[in-house]
Amino acid sequence: MFFMLFLACTPDPSLVLAVPDGPLSGEVPVTLSGAADELGIFADGQSIGGGKGPSLSVVWDTRMVVPGTHVLRGSGWVGSEEFQVQQEVEVEAGDLTAPVVSITSPDDGDEVESLPLTVAFSVEEEDALASVRLLDGDTLLQELATVGPWSVELAELDGGNHTLTAEATDLSGNVGTDAVAVHYGLTCEISSPRNQEAVSGVVPVKVEARSPGGEVASVTLTVDQTEIGTDTERPYTFEWDSSSFSGQATLKILAVAVDGEECSSGIRVLVGADAFSVIVTAPMEAEVLTGTVGVKAAIGGGGGPDYAELYVDDSLVERDDDPDWAFNLDTTAWSDGEHRVKVVGYELGTGATAEDEVGVSFLQ
């Protein structure tokens, strides 16, 4: 009796590895095809992608490897048996420099008072661009042409805070971005009196409140947690009798829109016939300072202080007994970055003080 034994052979999946002609740079598309159950692509033995057959496409980022000769391998599995195909490729040094994106409008921190809002930006890039986009947070607002100038008008914008991001990607896959934060909705501020102003008697308080997304329902004024009144119609004004207050007082407003959005703001004033105020007139808020700069303060109300002191980040820098209240500040004594510059006035007879400060940046 004769027995015949048949051995089943696993068919060759005929793998084909497709790579663009070299030398390669940037993000390179690599495709592996073949009649296999599973496919995988490897660069110098490291996996760069895998998936089900019969076709697999991946992007190999050659910017992350050393220029020179590298081995790409395609593997296909039929059952438990592996088949391979490989190819040597040359990688050259690619472009690692991202496009430089600069939003020119609006400014960071802007309050958007009306629509449409124009978003304009520039892109610096030596080579061509692959894509240009404008986003609000993670939400794509618009795909733009890859050739500038770039400007978008936003006719619609939800109330609240927004982070607008301009994004440019070059042909090597490098991405450059710039972002600004803006607010569209209810805004409020006390327009009179000014912060740190000296006041006495009946003080008129004027408030600016705007809600581009709807009506302002009410504005309430409090002084040192004492409610003074509520106004529901423009112009928002109050008469505050300061006779029962003395020294420093805090004025706060709360504006409420019809849709429920709230806005609060506040200032400090000095109350009394002999009270005085200090206002830093130079430098300006958010100014960038280099080298030695002049710091000046204006004094209002009362007889004024006997002397004044200059502080940077609450560290005493200089005392001035001259009523011109001017200082020279050497910014090189501090690190680059944001700092607080403060002037404090002192009245010896009463012990009264007043101060004002501005936020600036030092850059050498």
Would you say residue 231 has pLDDT above 50?
yes
Number of separate domains in the chain: 4
Indicate the residue among 138, 156, 184 that finishes a domain: 184
* pLDDT over 90 (residue 271): no
Indicate if 267 and 211 belong to the same structural domain: yes
pLDDT tens digits, one per residue of 304-348: 788 999 999 999 999 998 888 899 999 999 999 999 999 998 888
How far apart are the two ends of the chain, measured CA to CA in Å?
Answer: 100
Predicted local confidence at residue 158, as pLDDT: 84
Rounded CA-CA distance 145/300 in Å is 55
Of the ranges 15-19, 125-129, 178-182, which one carries the lowest mean pLDDT score?
A: 125-129
For residues 106 and 100, what is the distance between their CA atoms, to the nearest angstrom? Answer: 17
Q: Give the strand order in the sheet containing 150-154.
A: 100-105, 117-124, 150-154
Look up the domain containing 265 and give its range: 187-271
**């991946």: which residue's tokens?**
58
Helix (H) or strand (E) holding 300: strand 292-300
Instruction: Choose the final residue of a domain: 140, 164, 184.
Output: 184
For position 151, which CATH number holds? 2.60.40.10
The DSSP 8-state label assigned to residue 24 in this structure reads: B
Q: Are 133 and 175 part of one and the same domain?
A: yes
CA distance 307 to 15: 87
| Confidence band of 213 (pLDDT split at 50, 70, 90) | low
Distance CA 49, CA 27 (A): 14
Looking at the structure, tell me whether residues 107 and 77 fall in a common domain.
no
Q: What is the pLDDT of residue 10?
A: 52
Query: How many C-beta atoms lie closer than 10 Å to residue 364's C-beta?
Result: 10
260 & 204 share domain:
yes
On the question of pLDDT at 145 being above 60, the answer is yes
Average pLDDT value for the chain: 89
